[in-house]
Amino acid sequence: MRSLFFVLDMLCLLPIAIARPFIGVLLWDWIAFENPHRIVWGFGVDWPWGWATFGVTLVGWMLSREKKQLPVNPTTLLMVAFLIGITINMPFALAHWDGEYAGWLRTVKMFAFFLITAALLTDKRRIDALLWMIAISIGYWIVDQGGASVLTLGHHTASGPPDSMIADNNIFAAALLVLLPMLNYLRLQAANRIVRYGVTFVMVLSFLTTVASYSRGAFLGIIAVGIVMWWRGRNKLIGVLVLAAAAVAVVLFMPESWFARMHTIDHYHHDASAEGRLYIWRVAWLLALHHPLTGAGFHATIYRDVVNTVVPGGMTLAIHGIWFQVLGQQGFPVFFVWVALSVVAWFNGRQLTRLARGRPELRWADDLGRMVQVSVVAYAVTGTFLPIAYWDIYFTVLVAVQMALVLVRRQLADEAAGQRSERRRKAAWTRDDILALPAPGRLAARSLPRTQAAP
pLDDT value for 452: 47
Percent of the residues in the chain that have a pLDDT greater than 70, as a whole number = 85
Residues 269, 271, 275, CA angle at the centre, nearest 5°? 65
- Gyration radius of the chain's alpha carbons: 26
pLDDT value for 438: 61
**Of the candidates 207, 189, 224, which has an alpha carbon nearest to the alpha carbon of residue 384?**
224
Q: Is 43 in a helix, a strand, or coil?
A: coil
Whether residue 432 is contained in a domain is answered as no
CA distance 11 to 5: 10
Q: Which domain holds residue 62?
A: 1-68
Choose the weakest-confidence range: 38-47, 125-134, 400-409. Answer: 38-47
Q: How confident is the model at residue 2 (pLDDT cuts 50, 70, 90)?
A: confident
| Whether the predicted pLDDT of 443 surpasses 60 | no
Query: What is the mean predicted confidence (pLDDT) over 315-326?
Result: 90
Beta-carbon count within 10 A of 427 CB: 13
pLDDT in tens, 26-84: 999 999 888 888 787 777 777 888 889 999 999 999 988 888 788 999 999 999 999 99
Instruction: Work out how many domains the chain is built from and give that number.
Output: 1
Whether residue 164 is contained in a domain is answered as no
